[in-house]
Structure 1
């Protein structure tokens, strides 16, 4: 049976936007591509202490100017994947599903009763930065080697970054979103077979999200990380496709 190159994404019949919908009881939560107007929505969430204390990358305080730099980058990255798949559909209609190097949907939104939606979080894949490799030279080498691998290479090691508005914590949304993207897209469409996860020690919620999706906590490392003047230790978690299938 042949499928559209966007399979298994659903398509919004009114807007043409692809999306995934979480299963019940969170079926009012969808994951869509980034939108330009997300620049306004991300700022208050990334300035909430329930979010920024557990993140390293986004600057704090997070300003509209930061959002104006970041959102176009991920909008264009998602569009590039979608354009690649649409081109494949035209060139090779009915052909095998093409492996791609990213997931075109990442923004988590709550759909209201009137059909509108509200931005509540983000979950995105990237190639691993090997935070648990402590020697700087070795780390630089393994990152470069991983980045050189061709799209679809099952030996690529991946990581994921995510956050959710504190108003929606405790409902299992991130665990379900992670599991959905992993099973429906990352494994079949990106050929993800190996992942590493890193969380600040103390962030028990993120550790649970990883463990619910088959990660194994390997230990704690001190790689000298200092974030906003505070020393941070890292939980290190590993995920392997074969091990996750057998568990």
Structure 2
């Protein structure tokens, strides 16, 4: 079983492999918006995190976190409901129908919240320690505002759910200039959990347990800011290879006291 379910709440989740089996990836929870907002605000204002993230505003306010979480809850409500229905109805179905249901592809990844599991089996004491996202790729290596960019973005967006040619990326959509771009370096992990291999295994779980079997993902790209050794290692451990470096691609950010930054584009070469 690639997707697990909390027996009390019926919440679907992914579980990281050992030695990080106490870490799970869940959808955002309506009943924990306050707690998740507090954790997110702390991480995204930490100097060990925010310099590598171009997307989230800085300083990151509670209002930003609340709005983000509520948006993601709404965006993923249908997918979560479909998974819960799949779980609840599975005992009444035969094996053939189960295989057919599990082969129905999803067009998104509802698993965003990296959580450390608490003692309460309902998940009430789980702690948000980071976020990971998976969306359709925006081809930001192509010249901005060009007709070529508009063409490939439209083509990738219009491909139907489950199509093998869809190009995906790890990250979320942020605004740079007058266009939207998807950047890998919007994913983050709390500094209290750096250096433990958690993000590497989170990427592995999302790819292996969800994106490949439930989204029919075949193509995946990502990026990191030059100098972010931690992100570079995450990609390398998950069989990504460098395909290009874009010098001074990210604009200056006066609020973060950052100059222009270069990014490295990475491409996934398949499951190990």
- Rounded to whole Å, the distance in 1 between the matches of 2:251 and 2:264 is 15
Aligned pairs for 1:1-247 within 5 A: 8-36=2-30, 37=33, 38-85=36-83, 94-95=97-98, 96=100, 97=102, 98-113=104-119, 116-137=125-146, 138-161=148-171, 162-222=187-247, 224-229=249-254, 230-241=259-270, 244=271
Deviates more, 1:146-155 or 1:218-227: 218-227
**Aligned CA distance change for structure 1 residues 192 and 60 (closer, same or farther; 3 Å):** same
> How much does 1:102 deviate?
1.1
> How much does 1:88 deviate?
6.7
- Rounded to whole Å, the distance in 1 between the matches of 2:235 and 2:248 is 21
**Aligned CA distance change for structure 1 residues 224 and 26 (closer, same or farther; 3 Å):** closer
What is the SS of the residue equivalent to 1:74? helix
What is the SS of the residue equivalent to 2:132? strand
Q: What stretches of structure 1 move > 3 A for 4+ residues in a row?
A: 84-90, 112-115
Q: With structure 2 as the length reference, what TM-score do the two structures score?
A: 0.80
Aligned length: 237
> How much does 1:168 deviate?
0.3
Q: Is the 8 A contact 1:131 1:198 kept in 2?
A: no
1:4 paired residue number: none
Deviates more, 1:134-143 or 1:61-70: 134-143
- Rounded to whole Å, the distance in 2 between the matches of 1:114 and 1:85 is 23
> How much does 1:75 deviate?
1.0
> How much does 1:176 deviate?
0.5
> How much does 1:233 deviate?
0.6
- Rounded to whole Å, the distance in 1 between the matches of 2:68 and 2:238 is 28
> How much does 1:114 deviate?
5.6
**Aligned CA distance change for structure 1 residues 189 and 57 (closer, same or farther; 3 Å):** same
How much is the aligned-residue C-alpha RMSD, in angstroms?
2.2
What is the SS of the residue equivalent to 2:52? coil
Q: Is the 8 A contact 1:224 1:232 kept in 2?
A: yes
The gaps in structure 2 that reach 5 residues or longer are 172-186
The gaps in structure 1 that reach 5 residues or longer are 1-6
- Rounded to whole Å, the distance in 1 between the matches of 2:166 and 2:202 is 22
Q: With structure 1 as the length reference, what TM-score do the two structures score?
A: 0.88
What is the SS of the residue equivalent to 2:40? helix
